[in-house]
Amino acid sequence: MSVPLILTLLAGGATFIGALLGVLGQKPSNRLLAFSLGFAAGIMLLISLMEMLPAALGEEGMSPVLGYGMFIVGLLGYFALDRLLPHAHPQDLIDPPPAHASRNLRRTALLLTLGISLHNFPEGIATYVTASTNLELGFGIALAVALHNIPEGLAVAGPVYAATGSRRKAVIWAGLSGMAEILGGVLAWLILGTMVSPVVMAAIMAAVAGIMVALSVDELMPLAKEIDPHNNPSYGVLCGMSVMGLSLTLLQTSGLSG
């Protein structure tokens, strides 16, 4: 099994961590949840804008029109999909729902599972494509995706557990949303393989960069602010950028970069 595919599996599997935290009653604090979302956004923004997009534009045979065009396609594609899907709301991560709302909770859990699964599918593709192109960037994206998959696991497991009283069902439902990410990575592995030309792979990477930027500014940062309105999510973003930038610099100066 290839390393990019393993990274995708691990990132998708992080959803189970959130699910287990949700059903075991050991939820992380709102401040920690918000910081982790900001941290993930910082990693994604730095990698997308400082590494992935420049690398795509620098590929031999890649025109600026195609490169920036695919970046915009990724941005607009994410926003279009995002408007059509149900979302995880902060109260699903924070407040235990009332016990009498079982039917509504089942519907909420179903919509959340569907929506998060559809969000996760392109993230699996993004993780695989990035790691296939540059392994060190793939590690960064996998870490960022895993960090924000933990709150998603919480968001799904909470309503399911409240509605059914079953820890097993809560973990399974949350796991399904993570499996969509793994499915995206497997699909990318099967379709892309080694048959794609460098220019096409660079174009895909530019689109992935657009998706990651849109995900960061439209979902991760606003959600972090809603979960913990008393603290600025920018601190997490700056920390994520700093840690990722430092790690990339160390890898490059040590000669370990791909």
d(CA 208, CA 133): 12
Ligand-binding site membership of 120 (annotated): yes
Ligand-binding site membership of 181 (annotated): yes
Residues in contact with 60: Cβ distance below 8 Å, sequence separation at least 6, in sequence order:
198, 199
Ligand-binding site membership of 104 (annotated): no
Could you count the other beta carbons within 10 Å of the beta carbon of residue 228?
22
Cα–Cα separations (whole angstroms), residue 104 to 111, 129, 131, 200, 250: 11, 38, 40, 45, 50
Q: At what angle do helices 102-133 and 3-24 cross, to 10 degrees?
A: 150
The identity of residue 45, as a single letter, is L
d(CA 175, CA 35): 23
Ligand-binding site membership of 219 (annotated): no
For 205, the token pair is 């990477």
For 10-63, what is the HEC assignment? HHHHHHHHHHHHHHHCCCCCHHHHHHHHHHHHHHHHHHHHHHHHHHHHCCCCCC
Count Cα neighbours of 20 within 13 Å in the Cβ-side half-sphere: 5
Ligand-binding site membership of 51 (annotated): no
Ligand-binding site membership of 226 (annotated): no
d(CA 211, CA 234): 20
3-state helix, strand, coil in the chain (%, to 5): 85, 0, 15
Which residue ranges are tagged as binding site?
120, 123, 148-149, 152, 181
Which residue ranges are tagged as binding site for Fe(2+)?
120, 123, 149, 152, 181
Which residue ranges are tagged as binding site for Zn(2+)?
123, 148, 152
